[in-house]
Structure 1
Amino acid sequence: MAGEAKFSIGVDYGTNSVRALVVEVHSGEEIACTSWTYAHGEDGVILDTREVNLARQHPADYEEGFVRTVGQAIEQARADRRFSPERVVGIGVDTTGSTPLPVDEQGRALATLPEFERENDAMARLWKDHTAHAEAAEISRRASEGGWPYLSKCGGAYSSEWYWSKALHCERHNAGVARAAFAWVELCDYVPGLITGNRDPRTMARGICAAGHKAMYHPSWGGLPSAEFLEGLSPGFSRFRERYKHPAVASDRVAGGLTGEFAERTGLRAGVPVAVGALDAHLGAVGSGIGPGTLVKIMGTSTCDCMVGPLSEGMPDIPGVSGIVPESVIPGMLGIEAGQSAVGDIFNWFVNRIGPSGYGRREEMHARLSDAAGRLRAGESGLVALDWHNGNRNVLTDPLLTGLVVGETLATTPAEIYRALIEATAFGALKIIERIEEYGVAIERVVNCGGIAEKNPLVMQIYADVCNRPMQISRSGQACALGAAVFGAVAGKAHADVPAAQRAMTGVKERVYRPEAGSVAVYRDLYRLYTALHDAFGGAGGADVGRVMKDLITIRQRAREV
């Protein structure tokens, strides 16, 4: 009947776990949320101590994760008297990326087959796998020297985190897996294909979000890079281009209907529309209410920054960002992506690898370190750090850069280092903001989402002070899953388009973190030192770093005299 409650489901595949969110499509009310940590590896990530750049996932976890979380969310949602599975109008899916996996001709993930179940190279290559850094450099060099246009929409350099680098690395280093790989499929395309039964890589829907930002897909050159370009990298490599469905499409399109098998396993009805998949950060931006003039920062293990602008107005190519792609965030708009390769992962590294004593058990350390760091004034630590513990994604696009802390003495405390690491990630965020605005794209407000934005007020206040901008927080603590649910609602025709669904389903919290004038002034001085180190160690110029240590002492003394 008219006005009755309707629901959509957003399924969010993160770095360590998958979650399912059930949302009422008219109000945005979240009535159920469940999560499951991937079974394989360390916190869901398969690592190799012999290769520090390796980060893989077992694709069996993706199927089990969908069934577990969606099934449990349906049961949880039944506590709401308005809910029934028949009132679910659509499903949206977001995943990490670029997280491609090799599949056979039937679309079966190679690692799910007996002959490859223990083969790391047959696993999904998680976004933060940097084993393909040499291949990324080769792709960038070939495109640049050959006059190919493919780097113009991805910031001027191709990344080791992305689709073609990872496929080429397998081609070069594991002939058995390379021969068995009929195609490489992004995780955000694989899951919708799996649950709708359209697993054939030649016919499954391919999303413009991952294709454009990770696989050098752009309409201006006819889609993917040419067969000639790919063959020049490795003979036969263009076969993956031929098996990639064209055109790639926006996520308001329907990938298919939920199969009877997955309906039975989750408690849903068969045929529920499933939206074309997209990357988690981009749908987190949608779930945070992104629109023209708004920068959304998705803050977790890494960060991703997203903006949109009207297709009709165009947008300049911006060196050092991760892509400018039509309809990758909101249909009918251009999407900009940038980000940092590690943020939460840096804080976790300090807690898990350094493990300073005196701050309680490991699960308590983040809160206690944040509390101690929050009692320090800006500049009081006398430290400045570089946030490159997992390379630099933007604006330098170099996976081989590493982290650094300058200014330590025998009196330096763990809380001071922890705060310096937070400040370093904020300085890195400001670099991205400056680069985007340098090319004429105005940023009128900043909205943050993700676990860090939700849980750590200190981080948000430091970001406000460093960037000298108010920091808003997405209303939903599950913005990525909510963004997926928005597309599920559009796929199910509960809303006419994505902006209409956003108006009904998204928003921001009342609390706003505002810049504090005293801290802003100190961070302006510290940012100058960060920039000197950034340019000197990042190869961006011959910056003079000879005064950095002494300038840090001066800043520290001033802060302690206040």
Structure 2
Amino acid sequence: LYQKAYSAETLAGTLSPGWAKKLGLSEKVAIAVGAFDAHMGAVGAGISTGSLVKIVGTSTCDIMIHPHQETLKDIPGVCGIVNGSVMNGYYGIEAGQSGVGDIFLWFINRLVPDSYGKTQDEKFRTLEKAAKKLKAGESGLLALDWNNGNRTILVDVRLTGLLLGQTLHTSPEEIYRALIEATGFGALVIIDRIEEYGVKVREVVNCGGLAVKNSLMMQIYADITGRPMKISRSEQTPALGAGIFAAVAAGKKSGGYESIDDAKKAMTGTGKVYEPQKENHEAYKKLYKLYCQLHDGFGTKHWSGGMFNVMKDLLELRDEVLKSK
């Protein structure tokens, strides 16, 4: 390993003659120091103090920044707190969920019958259309999103997924929606833990494949968290973030920018926003309480509560929702 680390907006050099010829570009093109894809994705999504950027795909990375001159407490279960890791002058705060899109793919590929479609995409479209017709709490299902372990806040790769409440009448779209909801509850656990230790989440900006493609998921996330889910204007935020760092490395005289903040203002932004729906949020508050009961009961060894109420409460909520339809 090198003995010295450099921040990503540092000029590493310029394009080599060989690559300049191959790409048809000038040898004066600035090459910036590299960084993690998720960190560049956060910058490409316009991260700022108080912004939680969710890079949502097969897994999810949650990124925040905090001014390095301000006090930052240790946040239990959040392992990725490093000064300068995302942007120079800030602590990078990185959390995440080790399975999100991969959970949906597992369900589609292993358990959804071919009557829902002949291809993976057809099955996704059929399930999303059917799941959108369901109301929060209607299925009586509750899942834990640990099919690939738990990264934050339990930090335990040996935890596994769970689906509670299925009956002989449970449908694939109900399970699909319950799995999406489970990842939404897991996302809220992370937000709650970060805020519990003094870092205020002012806004949530989503980027990555699922943020763009899965409108049902983004609406459910808004309803669960009670927060607007903003979608990054760019569909390729890691590439855009790399471009931002390179523009700063090049400098203003070469057509770039003097600072990362200047580059972000010019090059980033948000587009579609999913607003929370009050009725769904109220139902999800009840489900989240039950999710936390399962989370602590199966995920922590110091929990000493009971679980007798969970199935009964799920059924009670289901009956309430069905009566209101």
TM-score (ref. length: structure 1):
0.55
CA shift at 1:271, angstroms? Answer: 5.1
1:545: which partner in 2? 307
- Unaligned runs of 5+ residues in structure 2 are none
Whether 1:338 aligns to 2:95 is yes
Hey, what's the Cα distance between the residues in 2 that align with 1:549 and 1:470?
30
| Distance in 2 of aligned mates of 1:365 and 1:557 | 28
Match for 2:289 among 528, 542, 558? 528
Determine if the alignment matches structure 1 residue 294 to structure 2 residue 54: no
1:327 and 1:335 in contact (8 A); partners too: yes
Cα distance in 1 for residues equivalent to 2:304 and 2:27 = 62
How far is the alpha carbon of 1:258 from its aligned partner? 2.6
2:207 matched to which residue of 1? 449
Preserved CA contact (<8 Å) 1:260 1:271: no
Q: Which amino acid aligns with 2:267?
A: M
Give deviations 1:242-261, integer Å, cap 9, x for gaps: xx112222101123333233
Q: Distance in 2 between matches of 1:256 and 1:416?
A: 54
Q: Distance in 2 between matches of 1:466 and 1:513?
A: 12
Q: Aligned equivalents of 2:28 and 2:106: distance in 1?
A: 44
Q: In the alignment, is residue 433 of structure 1 matched against residue 195 of structure 2?
A: no
d(CA) in 1 for partners of 2:236, 2:113:
31
Whether the 8 Å contact between 1:533 and 1:543 is mirrored in structure 2 is no
CA distance in 2, matches of 1:390, 1:266: 40
Q: Quote the Cα distance in structure 2 between the aligned partners of 1:483 and 1:301.
A: 20
2:112 to 342, 355, 360: 355
1:478 aligns with one of 233, 236, 244 = 236
> Does the aligned pair in 2 maintain the 1:300–1:451 contact within 8 Å?
yes
Q: 2:22 aligns with which of 265, 269, 273?
A: 265
Structure-1 separation of matches of 2:65 and 2:41:
13
What code does the residue aligned with 1:376 have? Answer: L
Gaps of 5+ in 1: 1-243
SS in 1 for 2:88: coil
Structure showing greater Rg = 1
Is structure 2 residue 275 aligned with structure 1 residue 514? yes
Q: How does 1:139-218 map to 2 (within 5 A)?
A: none
- SS state of the match for residue 458, structure 1? helix
In the TM superposition, what is the alpha-carbon distance from 1:357 to its structure 2 partner?
Answer: 2.9
Which of residues 471, 484, 499 is equivalent to 2:261?
499
Report the Cα distance in structure 2 between the residues aligned to 1:322 and 1:274, rounded to whole angstroms. 30
SS across alignment from 1:522: helix
Amino acid at match of 1:454: V
Partner residue, 1:211: none
TM-score by length of 2: 0.95
Counterpart of 2:61 in structure 1 is 304
1:471 Cα shift? 0.9
Shift of the alpha carbon at 1:522?
0.7
- 1:260, 1:402 → 2: CA distance? 51
- Quote the Cα distance in structure 1 between the aligned partners of 2:138 and 2:24: 56
SS state at 2:58 partner: coil
Counting aligned pairs with the same residue, the percent is 55
Contact 1:535/1:542 (CA < 8 Å) preserved in 2? no
SS in 2 for 1:313: coil
After superposition, give the CA deviation of every residue in 1:317-347 in whole Å (9 maximum; x if it has no partner).
1111131111211221111110000111111
Residue in structure 2 matched with residue 559 of structure 1 by the alignment: 321
How far 1:532 moved relative to its partner?
Answer: 0.9
User: 2: distance between equivalents of 1:543 and 1:348?
Assistant: 33
**160, 165, 180: which one pairs with 1:402?**
160
How far 1:537 moved relative to its partner? 1.1
Aligned to 1:413: 171
Inter-partner Cα distance in structure 2 for 1:425 and 1:280: 22
Equivalent residue in structure 2 for 1:329, among 73, 86, 104: 86
Take 1:458 and 1:379, find their aligned partners in 2: how far apart are those partners?
A: 15
Q: Secondary structure at the match of 1:278?
A: coil
**Residue type at the aligned position of 1:325:** V
SS in 2 for 1:454: helix
Is contact 2:57-2:101 (8 Å) kept?
yes
Give the letter for the 2:24 counterpart.
G
- Alpha-carbon distance in 1 for matches of 2:228, 2:198: 20
Measured in 2, the distance between the counterparts of 1:417 and 1:356 equals: 13
Distance across 1 between alignment mates of 2:42 and 2:263: 13
| Equivalent-residue separation in structure 1 for 2:320 and 2:270 (angstroms) | 37
Give the whole-Å Cα distance in 2 for the aligned partners of 1:315 and 1:474. 27
Is 1:370 aligned to residue 131 of structure 2? no
Letter in 2 for 1:471: M
Whether contact under 8 Å (1:295, 1:306) holds in the other structure is yes
Q: Which stretch of the first structure deviates more once superposed, 254-263 or 334-343? A: 254-263
2:144 is equivalent to residue 386 of structure 1 = yes
Tell me if the contact between 2:112 and 2:172 (Cα under 8 Å) persists in the aligned partners. no
Give the secondary-structure state (helix, strand or coil) at the position aligned to 1:358: helix
Distance in 2, matches of 1:481 and 1:545, equals 46
